[in-house]
Each structure stands twice: as C-alpha cells, then as structure tokens.
C-alpha cells in the first residue's frame, strides 16, 4: 500500500479497514493516528515530507495507535487516557482540549471534542479548507458502541453539537468506510442513534471479539451495541 494524495498538502494511508492521515503545513507536518498494522511509519512519512512531524490520536482504540511506539510525544485528549493507559505510559502527552488550535504553519487545526464512541474522541477541523478529520464517530461503516466506556447518549450529544460547525465543514474524512463524506450523514447518524436509544429498531444478534452484541442497521451505517 502507498500514500493516496487528497490534495497538495493532505494524504491518507489505507491500513486494511482503517486509515490515517498526513497533513502538511508550512512549518511542520501532523500525522493523525498511526493505524494498526503499519511498521516504520516515520519512514513512510519521509516518502512525502522531510518536515518535523507530530502525532495526534483521534482516540486510543488499538486500530488507531499501532505505530505510536515510534513517537515520544502525542497530542491526545486527556479524557482518552483511561481508554488505553499502557499505550501512553512512556509518551509525553500534549493535551488536546475542545477549541484548541494547533497551527502547522498557515494551517490551523481546531480540536472538537466528540465523546461517546470513546471518552476522549476528538475531531480536527482544518480551518482553511473545511476538511474535518473525524476519527470513528462519523462514518458509513460499523460504529462500535459496545463494551466499557462507550456511551450512546454522549455520542448523540456530540453529533448534535457538531451541527454548530456545519457552515465551516466542507467534507468529512473518517477513519473507516467511505472517504470523504458529506455533512448530511451527521443528521442521519443522529436520527438513527436516537432510534437505537429509544428501542425502535429491531437488532440482529452477532458475536464480536467473543462478546455477544446487537447490530442496529440505521441505513447509513450499523451501530454495534449492547
């Protein structure tokens, strides 16, 4: 697999069913997540740029932090550390808080907190281009909402709050499924998640990672829930 160019300063890398992104500013580059199976990720980055590169994790599920060991510092929401403490035991944490701006050099990125899928899930909004790098909460694939620390009510709230940024968001770049997505999927995810919470969708049973779960088909995606 190789880098896929989105535009002159933005690339994505498909690591099986998950993807991560490389963003270039005038001064530094930012890697958003590190996938699950890729090794030598810094060498991969050097295929694109020789600028200093920082790492930001949208959250700490295993398929997003596979290459983290190559980095001594990581930008992440402190609320996410409870999700995977061991992954960050030897890393210097740079806290990512709602509203923070990380400027790569004429490329400001705004942190938007998105709790629900995990406690410290975040999205990054490229203020210049309107590209939103959403992690897992926004996608047309399988949205994991089962197991410890997943919260469907918080998920609905996060998606609803995101609508205040609708005029700024031009396209959504998720970590799974179709990429990019139109903002219209946000309203459909909200409607579907509300129906799941209300018990108005009949689920099918499945087993994943040795755990029995309920699969709710909400049309634009499937919510995996308990």
Sorted by where each starts, the structural domains of the chain and their CATH numbers stand as: 4-142+151-198 (3.60.15.10)
In angstroms, rounded to a whole number, what is the distance separating the alpha carbons of residues 134 and 136? 6
| pLDDT for res 86 | 62
Q: Mean pLDDT over residues 73-94, rounded?
A: 85
In angstroms, rounded to a whole number, what is the distance separating the alpha carbons of residues 77 and 119? 9
Q: How is residue 174 written in tokens?
A: 């998720």
Q: How is residue 71 written in tokens?
A: 């980095």
In angstroms, rounded to a whole number, what is the distance separating the alpha carbons of residues 176 and 24? 21
The reported pTM is 0.96
Q: Mean pLDDT over residues 80-100, rounded?
A: 85
Lowest-confidence pick of 5-9, 86-90, 102-106: 86-90
In angstroms, rounded to a whole number, what is the distance separating the alpha carbons of residues 63 and 74? 16
Please say if the pLDDT value at position 209 is more than 90: no
The answer to whether 114 and 134 are in contact (CB under 8 A) is yes
Question: What is the DSSP secondary structure assignment for residue 31, as one 8-state letter?
Answer: E
């Amino acid at each position: 697999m190789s880098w896929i160019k989105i535009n002159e300063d933005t690339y994505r890398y498909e690591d099986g069913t998950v993807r991560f992104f490389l963003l270039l500013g005038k001064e530094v580059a930012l890697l958003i997540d590190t996938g699950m199976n890729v090794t030598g990720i810094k060498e991969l980055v050097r295929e694109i740029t020789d600028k200093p590169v920082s790492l930001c994790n949208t959250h700490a599920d295993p398929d997003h932090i596979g290459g983290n060991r190559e980095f001594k510092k990581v930008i992440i929401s402190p609320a996410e550390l409870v999700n995977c403490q061991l992954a960050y035991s030897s890393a210097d944490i740079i806290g990512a808080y709602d509203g923070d701006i990380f400027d790569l050099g004429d490329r400001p990125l705004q942190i938007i907190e998105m709790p629900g899928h995990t406690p410290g899930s975040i999205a990054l909004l490229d203020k210049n281009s309107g590209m939103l790098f959403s992690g897992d909460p926004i996608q047309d694939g399988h949205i994991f909402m089962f197991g410890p620390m997943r919260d469907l009510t918080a998920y609905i709230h996060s998606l609803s709050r995101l609508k205040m940024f609708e005029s700024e968001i031009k396209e959504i770049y998720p970590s799974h499924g179709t990429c990019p997505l139109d903002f219209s999927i946000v309203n459909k995810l909200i409607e579907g998640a509300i129906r799941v919470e209300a018990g108005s969708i009949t689920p099918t049973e499945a087993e994943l990672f040795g755990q029995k779960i309920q699969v709710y088909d909400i049309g634009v995606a499937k919510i995996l829930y308990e």
